[in-house]
Amino acid sequence: MMDRQTADFIAAHRDDDVRHLALCSAGYTGVDMPFALNQIAGRQAARRKLPTWASTDGIIYPPHISMEQCSSETTAVYKAAVARRLVAEKMKSADTGSNTEKANRDTVFVDITGGFGVDFSFIARLFGRSVYIERQQHLCDIAEENFQRLGIDTAEVVCGDCEEWLRCNTGMHADLIMADPARRDAHGGRTFAISDCTPEVTALKELLLDKADYIMIKLSPMLDWHKAAEDFGPEVREIHIISTGNECKELLIVASRYGEKTDEDKYVNKSRPRLFCVNDSTVVEVTAAGCGTDMSESDVKTPVKPVKDLVFSTPLYLYEPNASIMKAGCFDIIEQRYHVRQIDKSSHLFVSDSPVNNFPGRKFSVTGITTMNKKELRKTLGGIDKANITTRNFPLTVAELRHRLKMKEGGDKYIFATTMPDKSHVLLICTKND
C-alpha cells in the first residue's frame, strides 16, 4: 500500500515530531507526505493506545478520526474475555483436545461495523470463522492488510452494508455478533443517542437476535445505562460500564433471546441483567435491576453505622469510587458490600474506621478535617501550600476553592470538599494510600 521511499521515510522518522516534519515536507521529494505523516502520528498514538499493534511492523493506520474512535487495547482485551465466556460451552472440550479444536472451528463471530478492526482483531482469534463488515472501502483495505500482519488467518473482510449481508446470508447463524455504531452525523458532529447512531441497532435488534446467540453492542459512555437497557428491551443480559485509567470509555450491552442455563440444561429468560463495573483490571459485578434502589441478594445486609454518628478521629479512611462505580450509581450496594459509610447521599464519598484494601476506587487516610471557618482553616491547613483538590456536593468549584485557600496544585496532600448531612461544609485533608 506504500512505495519503498515512503516506507523508509516512515521508519526513519517514526519517533519525530509530526508537526515539525510537516513544516519541512517540501524538502522530501518522492515521499507520499500526507500518508507518511498520518502513519507516523498513528503509530505514536498506538504506542499508548494499542501497544501490540504499535510493536507489529507494517501496520497501516487510518485517518485521525478512526484512530480517535477505535477501542484501546485494554478495552478490546476485556471484550474478548466477555466473548470467550459467552460462548464457553462451544469452546469447552467434551472429551479430548481435538474436540476443543473442532468446537472452535464451528464457532462464528461477525463484526458488522468493522472500522479500524481493533476489537475484531482480539475477538476473532477465539473463533473458527470471523467476518468483518465495513461500508468504507479504504478501511476494508487497511483491515485486510493489518489482519495479515497480525496473523489473523480466519478473517473474512466484507465491504458492504451489514443489514444487506445479514439478510442475504440466510443460512448463517453466529455465536456472537458485535456492533459499534458510528457516533458522528453526516457533518462529523458527535451523537450520543442510540437512535442517532449508524447503524440504528435498535431497529436491527430482531434481525441480529435471529442471526446470533448473543449480540454485543458498544455504545457511548455518555449514555445513561438504564435508558440504554430499556431501549434494548428484556433481551438485555449484561451491561458493562468500562473505564480505563479511571475514565469511563465505553458502555457495552450484551443481549440474547437465551438466558442462563439451569441444571436441567434449559434456558431461563432472566429479567434482571448482570451489571459489571470495570476499571482496568478491577471488575465489580452487581446483580440488580437498578443501582441505588435494588440490592443483590448476595450482598451482605449487615447494618452500617449512619454517618451522622461519625466522629472524625484517627484512624479514619476515605474512599472515592472509580468512574464505572460512579456511573453505575450503585452506592448503597457498595456501602453494604465493603462495609463503608457514605458521608452523604449526594457526596458519593465513603469512610471507614479501618482500611478496606479491596475498595474499587482511590483510598486515603484522613489526617485532618475543618469547616470553612477562617480560624479553623488556618489551624488545620497550616504549612500546606499545595494540594490536589476535589469538590463533591460543595458550593464552590475546584478553581474557586483553590483561589480562596491560596493553594497551589499538586503535592502529596489531597483535600476533599463536601457537605455533611447537617448541611455544613467541610474539608477533609488526606494522604493517598497505595
Give residue 430's identity as a one-letter amino acid code.
Answer: C
Residue 286 lies in a domain: no
Give the span between the Cα atoms of 343 and 318, in whole angstroms. 9
The residue among 279, 281, 296, 278 whose CA lies nearest residue 336 is 296
At residue 198, the 3 state secondary structure works out as: strand
Residue 268 lies in a domain: yes
Are both 272 and 325 inside the same structural domain?
no
Domain finish residue from 244, 262, 280:
280
> How sure is the predictor about 300, in pLDDT bands with cuts at 50, 70 and 90?
very low
What cell numbers appear for 120 in the block? Answer: 475484531
Are both 413 and 331 inside the same structural domain?
yes
pLDDT higher than 80, residue 307: no
CATH number at residue 178: 3.40.50.150
Are both 172 and 96 inside the same structural domain?
yes
- How many residues in total does the chain contain? 434
Are both 160 and 233 inside the same structural domain?
yes
Domain count, the chain: 3
Are both 362 and 415 inside the same structural domain?
yes
The DSSP 8-state label assigned to residue 219 in this structure reads: E
pLDDT higher than 60, residue 189: no
For residue 121, what pLDDT is reported? 96
Residue 300 lies in a domain: no
What cell numbers appear for 414 in the block? Answer: 489531597
Give the span between the Cα atoms of 46 and 49, in whole angstroms. 5
Give residue 308's identity as a one-letter amino acid code.
Answer: K
Range of the domain at 33: 4-49
Are both 77 and 31 inside the same structural domain?
no
At residue 125, the 3 state secondary structure works out as: helix
For residue 266, what pLDDT is reported? 44
Are both 212 and 338 inside the same structural domain?
no
pLDDT higher than 90, residue 263: no
Give the span between the Cα atoms of 307 and 214, in whole angstroms. 44
Residue 56 lies in a domain: no
Residue 289 lies in a domain: no
pLDDT higher than 70, residue 93: no
Segment 195-224, tens digit of pLDDT = 666 678 888 999 999 999 999 999 999 888
Are both 357 and 409 inside the same structural domain?
yes
The least confident of 33-42, 192-201, 233-242, 294-303 is 294-303
The arithmetic mean of pLDDT across residues 312-325, rounded, is 87
Residue 128 lies in a domain: yes
Between 91 and 107, the more confident residue is 107
Are both 197 and 247 inside the same structural domain?
yes
Are both 354 and 271 inside the same structural domain?
no
Residue with grid cell 489473523, as numbered in its chain:
152
Q: What percent of the chain has pLDDT over 90?
A: 57
Are both 414 and 332 inside the same structural domain?
yes
Torsion sign (Cα): 203, 209, 211, 212: positive
pTM (predicted TM-score): 0.85
Residue 299 lies in a domain: no
Whether cis (ω within 30° of 0) applies to the bond prior to 421 is no
For residue 24, what pLDDT is reported? 80
Are both 188 and 311 inside the same structural domain?
no
> How sure is the predictor about 323, in pLDDT bands with cuts at 50, 70 and 90?
very high
pLDDT higher than 50, residue 269: no
pLDDT higher than 80, residue 122: yes
Torsion of CA 180, 324, 65, 41, to 10 degrees: -130
Contacts 24+ apart (CB under 8 A), 35-38: 35/2, 35/6, 36/6, 36/9, 36/10, 38/63, 38/64
Give the span between the Cα atoms of 91 and 174, in whole angstroms. 14
pLDDT higher than 60, residue 5: yes
Q: At what angle do helices 33-49 and 4-12 cross, to 10 degrees?
A: 40
Residue 124 lies in a domain: yes
Instruction: List the beta bridge partners of residue 431.
Output: 365, 413
